[in-house]
Amino acid sequence: MWIALSQLFFSIDFLAASVRFAMPLASAAVGEIISERSGVVNIGLEGMMLAGALGSMMGAYYLEDPWLGLLCGMAAGGMVAAVHAFVVITLAADQVVSGAALNIGLLGLTNFIYRAVYGIEERPIVAHFEPVAVPVLSRIPILGPVFFNQIPLVYVTYGLVIVAAVIIVRTRWGLELQAVGEHPRAADSVGLSVSRVRYLTVIACGLLAGMAGTFFSLGQLHTFIEGMTGGRGFIVLAVVIVANWSPARAALAALMFGAAEAVGLRIQALDLGVPYQFALAFPYLLTLAVYIGLAGRSRMPRALGQAYVKD
Amino acid sequence: MPALLSMHGITKIYPGVVANDRVELEVLEGEIHALLGENGAGKTTLVNILYGLAAPDGGSIRWKGAPVRIHSSAQAMRLGIGMVHQHFMLVPRFTALQNIILGAGSERRVWLDLKRAAQRVRTLAEQYGLEVNLEAQVQDMDLGMRQRLEILKALYRGAQLLILDEPTAVLTPAEVEALFEVLRRLAAQGHATIFISHKLEEVLAISDRITVLRDGHNVATLPTREASQPGLAQLMVGRPVVLEVKKGPARPTGRRVIEIEGVSVEREHGRDRLDGISLHVEAGEIVGVAGIDGNGQGALLEILCGLSRPDRGRVTLLGVDVTDTSPRRIAALNVGRIPEDRATMGLLPRLSIKENLILQSYARPPLSRWGILRGRQMGEFARRLVAEFDVRTPGVELAVENLSGGNQQKVILARELHHDPEVLIVANATRGLDVGATEYTYRRVLEGRDRGAGVLLISSDLEEVLCLSDRIAIMHAGRIMGVVPAEAADRTRLGLMMTGTPLSALEGG
Amino acid sequence: MRELLRQAFAPRSSRLQSVILPLAAVLGALGVGGVMIAVAGFKPLEIYASMLESAVGTPQGLGVSVTNAIPLILAGLGVALPFRCGLLNIGGEGQIYIGALFATLVGLGLHGLPPAIHLPLALMAGFIGGGLWGAIPGSLRAGRGLSEIIVTIMLNYVGFWIVSYLVHGPLKDPESYGYSWTMKVPVTAQLPLIFAEARINLGIVVAFLAAAVSHFLLSHTVPGFEMRAVGAGAQTARFAGIRVGRSTVLSMVLGGGLAGLAGTAVILGVQYRLSDFFSSGYGFTAIAVALVGQTSPIGVVFAGLFFGGLQNGVNSAQRSLGIPMGVALSLQGLILLFMIAGQSATLIRWLRKRRTARRVDSTQPAVLLD
């Protein structure tokens, strides 16, 4: 059994799979970090990711190109986010309930639209992303095949994490974003438009969540299945807290959860006598354990979750 | 010389109140212009309009001779109007430098150039004598530095007119002098200042001209050299009287109801540290704790209410050691507490008046039995208290948040005082209340004392402390600088103690 | 002085508002849903009429609606109670499954008991199971301030997979061949039918009782008052001596227990066996039920009945008229959105501003302006 376990952890396949599973989480996490650091929490991530999955699948179906599909997926996520933004910013309604409502509604809506368009026929296989090896980097021993032989979306996500980290720390936008999330009144008093900043961050989050959803439909499965995001939008929420709202740490945390998922699959594949339910439950158990153990709330944006209403 | 700023016929109506009624204000270059008036006179509304935070319902504004309509603070800042609010608008986790440059980028630059900004800021700081540590986080700064930071912020954006809203509320007398120096320097370099205050002494000391508002309209505008304290007071209030409460002599019984011995609290962020506090209150007297906000009063209050524990020392209430105990145990003692923040500590806004009134006594008969609340008794109880404490409301089922500030205070007073507590702890209770409600509160507190309670009164309003206390303790930087009997208290000595001079030094000579 | 409308889920708002708002939200959602249906190529009015007919038109239909409502009312109470204490219980699904599990174990495990003992024991077991599953997020929140939202969602999945494993494995009925479910719970632990023609079981009485008890608890007892006080202002409540942590945990235990009862009612009243996937998202629909019912137990009953009928109508329409699946969930989401939008204080203020402001003499405003 120990041989099997070491095979488990030292195989390139396993590590590459971890990266593969981690990237959608990382992408959505970056979006959520941007949104939360400006003060808006997005429970509806799961719904936005689903919308992205369906949107990109349909885009790829009609436009026969995965990149165009990606754009459609991102647009879908962005549209859902726009609704959330309107409800919680302009109408100043409760952010958590709005997110929950969007999750429920979108689960139904994506099912509805998919069935309405494609019926109960065989699921269409659409134009999708294939893994692409980066010329020089993919030859580095171990790291190469693990990190640089993935679908292009993964590379986009790498860049995303870096760009996000830079923006937050070194640009004017990042400073304003943080101010809005820490002390919206102060930001307002120096002339920043709290609403505008928040609208932008929430929609950005939706776009990135849409991209995360695209990983599922155009990356892993090449089609759309109802509820295919399987609760990962919620895992992202925990990732953000555990990562203390830093994009770089979120990427690391995402890798850990990606590995958990890969472990789950491996356990089933290796037939170690562990019931498959445990394998499937493992990522959620891990999330729970990590959240309980590591919740570092030292950098939680002060105004997170509170609507800002000018009198 | 044409006026820098001219506000003409400004009117602003909120539901239920006319905040500004055809108000006029004129400010010249290089002038320090005081805007004087009581709470509710309309001063803050007027400057909010000037700073783009509110839109006037009528009237016009001229800036440097040209008519303008100010839609937003951003626009006001671009015009050259800067404001230092009463409650600082600083992001606590940011450094001073970050706060200054926030939103101040003149060109649409994306990258932060901290070095260049720091250079500019340092030049400005020197020019006006504003000492600020740029690398420090705001949450670690004392209030004086925060204020200087706010002023720097405005100057960095090119403010020519600076509005200061009650700036001295949080300063020690020495810091007030330092602020005045800065204002004089600003005036000498052509900047104008609008200095909002209700403190007559300071207004007389620093301003060139004074505009007095009352109940939303102008009462007078006059050069400072022609003004006097009694004259101004009369203009402000409309009658030649200042708040006066009849206070009989104290009759302390010698029995100590509050004992604080050697209490210390270590805190990370500097403020709200306590360093060996010892104080006692006897039944039948009022001990006032005066001092600038942020010198440990908050920590002291938390310990007295059981919300936090001291690292050293002991606290005894009515003979019971409460140093290491929960709010629940303290609430069970016969102690009445009037908190400073009504909405978040004193009341449950969404619940009814009745439910708020029973908050102290719901767990015992007659209001409940075996865990079940008795509706009829609760209703009678509530109605009785509402009548006794004169709470203006159509009924006891109304949600407390719908009451006016004064009536909300009465609900709290009713709840805490009706069972004749032997100890009363009152903290900044009259903040935001009008004259009538303040008088009522004072009366009730004195009544409590006359009925034999021991009262600890914590307040950043020195007038309030002087008015009510029998003995006065001054807090500074988490320590008691001295305790003086009320008759022997004079403002200069108290001011010195608030700045850190212990009583022993003053008396030793 | 006119009462100001406030953004709150407390039933302090006027009677009129608490009925009009949910009604308006439902109508709004139906409107948008109608557009969706039309776009998919069906006639909305025809669909809605058919849904109404199936839901309440026949005794059998009515029976199905009421039977659907049973878990919704119970789970809805399971959301409403913690909500009054300031927590959002999204863990209904997990609590339903674990509650159902416990009830099934008691049902299958005890023999030879009269129904008058066996059934209440099974119900209690369900309550305890759900209560345990609710105690976990409750104590984590009370003790360490951890968000109950994340914990409950994770526990939803864990709870589901636990039941799934047991149902496919140790508890599987050896004679079930293709299906994965437990053996049938003996008659003595089943909820009997009380209306034979409509096939409504005793669970509805359980649901009504639970609502009545919840109402009494919240409004007339000391622990209920403390929970409401904590929900209305935790700081003030602590200041007044209320043990905030204890109320928090209590509300989650009760909420979880009620959701557990919901799962129990489905097993003991309808299926008589435990299987995985028996909950068609009751835990999430419960959120809509709680909010539409304005988080008052009475309101939850009505809202539960409504959603039960809605579910029935949608299912029938899907079967007989072929509209795509997902309509029910979409409508739920829409209703929720409309509900919170309708309660938005900003919206209310905007509507009020459109009436002219009149000068009112000497009434002191609630906020003192300077």
Residue A268 resides in a domain? yes
- Chain C: give the shortest CA distance to residue A92, in Å: 6
- Structural domain B5-237, CATH architecture: 3-Layer(aba) Sandwich (3.40)
Which H, E and C letters describe B257-323, residue by residue?
A: EEEEEEEEECCCCCCCCEEEEEEEEECCCEEEEECCCCCCHHHHHHHHCCCCCCCEEEEEECCEECC
Cβ-Cβ contacts under 8 Å, C367 against chain B: 405
CA B488, B491, B496, B497 torsion: positive or negative?
A: positive
Contact C308, C300 (CB under 8 A): no
User: What is the token pair recorded at C322?
Assistant: 């072929």
Residue A2 resides in a domain? no
Residue C161 resides in a domain? yes
CB-side exposure of A205: number of CA atoms within 13 Å? Answer: 37
Q: Which of A275-279, B56-60, C103-107, C346-350 has the lowest mean pLDDT?
A: C346-350
pLDDT category of residue B389 using cuts at 50, 70 and 90: confident
Q: Which of B87-91, B352-356, C202-206 has the lowest mean pLDDT?
A: B87-91
Inter-chain CB proximity C369 and B14 less than 8 Å:
yes
The DSSP code for C192 is P
pLDDT category of residue A4 using cuts at 50, 70 and 90: low
Average pLDDT rounded to a whole number, residues B74-102:
89
Residue C108 resides in a domain? yes
- Report the alpha-carbon distance of residue C366 to residue B66 in Å, rounded: 37
- Report the alpha-carbon distance of residue A245 to residue A41 in Å, rounded: 12
**Nearest CB to C369 within list B45, B346, B402:** B45
- Report the alpha-carbon distance of residue C325 to residue C312 in Å, rounded: 13
Contact B335, B318 (CB under 8 A): yes
Inter-chain CB proximity A186 and B83 less than 8 Å:
no
Q: Which residues of C touch B (CB under 8 A)?
A: 1, 3-4, 6, 8, 10, 12, 219-223, 225, 228-229, 232-233, 235-243, 357, 359-360, 363-370
Give the pLDDT confidence score for residue A255 in this predicted structure. Answer: 92
Q: Which of B93-107, C68-82, C269-283 has the highest mean pLDDT?
A: C68-82
- Report the alpha-carbon distance of residue B474 to residue B470 in Å, rounded: 13
Residue C333 resides in a domain? no
In DSSP notation, A106-135 reads: HHHHHHHHHHHHHTTSPPPP------EE-T
- Report the alpha-carbon distance of residue B50 to residue B182 in Å, rounded: 23
Angle at C281 between CA C275 and CA C287, to 5 degrees: 140
Position with higher pLDDT, B285 vs B291: B285
A280 touches chain C (CB under 8 A): yes
B89: pLDDT strictly greater than 80? yes
Residue A236 resides in a domain? yes
User: What is the token pair recorded at A260?
Assistant: 């958990």
Inter-chain CB proximity B99 and A171 less than 8 Å:
no
- Report the alpha-carbon distance of residue B322 to residue B248 in Å, rounded: 31
Q: Which of C164, C154, C144 is nearest to C90 (CA)?
A: C154
Q: Which of A5-9, B91-95, B155-159 has the lowest mean pLDDT?
A: A5-9
Give chain C's domain count: 1
Residue A311 resides in a domain? no
Position with higher pLDDT, B50 vs B326: B50
Asked if residue C114 has a cis previous peptide bond (ω within 30° of 0), the answer is no
**Nearest CB to B371 within list C12, C222, C367:** C222
pLDDT category of residue C363 using cuts at 50, 70 and 90: very low
Position with higher pLDDT, B75 vs B235: B75
CB-side exposure of A240: number of CA atoms within 13 Å? Answer: 28
Cβ-Cβ contacts under 8 Å, B305 against chain C: 239
In which domain, by residue range, is A41 found?
8-299
The DSSP code for A171 is B
User: What is the token pair recorded at B78?
Assistant: 């671009």
Inter-chain CB proximity B344 and C240 less than 8 Å:
no
Each domain of chain B, given as residue ranges in start order, spans: 5-237, 243-334+420-509, 349-417
Residue C188 resides in a domain? yes
For chain A, the straight-line distance linking the first and the last C-alpha, in angstroms and rounded, comes to 66
For chain C, the straight-line distance linking the first and the last C-alpha, in angstroms and rounded, comes to 22
Residue C121 resides in a domain? yes
- Report the alpha-carbon distance of residue B293 to residue B86 in Å, rounded: 13
Summary count for chain B: helices (H), strands (E): 17, 22
Tally of CB atoms within 10 A around B67: 10
Residue C299 resides in a domain? yes
The predicted-structure confidence for B249-268, as pLDDT tens digits, reads as follows 777 788 888 888 888 887 65
Inter-chain CB proximity A186 and B73 less than 8 Å:
no
**Nearest CB to C325 within list A98, A111, A275:** A111
User: What is the token pair recorded at C63?
Assistant: 């029976």
* Range B243-334+420-509 has CATH code 2.40.10.10: no
Give the pLDDT confidence score for residue B162 in this predicted structure. Answer: 94
ipTM score for this prediction: 0.83
DSSP H or E stretch at residue B164: strand B161-165
Give chain A's domain count: 1
Residue C34 resides in a domain? no
User: Per DSSP, what are the bridge partners of residue B81?
Assistant: B161
Cβ-Cβ contacts under 8 Å, C6 against chain B: 350, 399, 401
Position with higher pLDDT, C172 vs A5: C172
Tally of CB atoms within 10 A around B43: 28
Give the pLDDT confidence score for residue B509 in this predicted structure. Answer: 44
C362: pLDDT strictly greater than 70? no
- Report the alpha-carbon distance of residue B409 to residue B403 in Å, rounded: 9
Alpha helices by DSSP H, listed for B129-168, are: 143-156
Whether B5-237 and B243-334+420-509 share one fold: the answer is yes
Average pLDDT rounded to a whole number, residues A148-160:
90
The CA–CA distances, whole Å, from B284 to B260, B336, B448, B454 equal: 17, 14, 8, 5
- Chain A: give the shortest CA distance to residue B79, in Å: 13
Q: Which of B139, B140, B425 is nearest to B307 (CA)?
A: B425
Give the pLDDT confidence score for residue C12 in this predicted structure. Answer: 41
In which domain, by residue range, is C79 found?
69-303
The predicted-structure confidence for B308-324, as pLDDT tens digits, reads as follows 888 888 999 888 888 88
Q: Which of A30-44, C108-122, C145-159 has the highest mean pLDDT?
A: A30-44
* Mean pLDDT, all residues of chain A: 87
Give the pLDDT confidence score for residue C286 in this predicted structure. Answer: 93
CATH (domain of A254): 1.10.3470
Contact A162, A20 (CB under 8 A): no
Give chains near A: 3+ CB pairs under 8 A.
B, C
Q: Which of B329, B328, B271 is nearest to B299 (CA)?
A: B271
Give the pLDDT confidence score for residue B140 in this predicted structure. Answer: 86
Give pairs for C226-231: CB < 8 Å, separation 24+: C227/C81, C227/C84, C227/C85, C227/C251, C228/B351, C228/B355, C228/C84, C228/C85, C229/B348, C229/B351, C229/B355, C229/B359, C230/C85, C230/C86, C231/C83, C231/C84, C231/C85, C231/C86
Angle at A75 between CA A70 and CA A76, to 5 degrees: 100
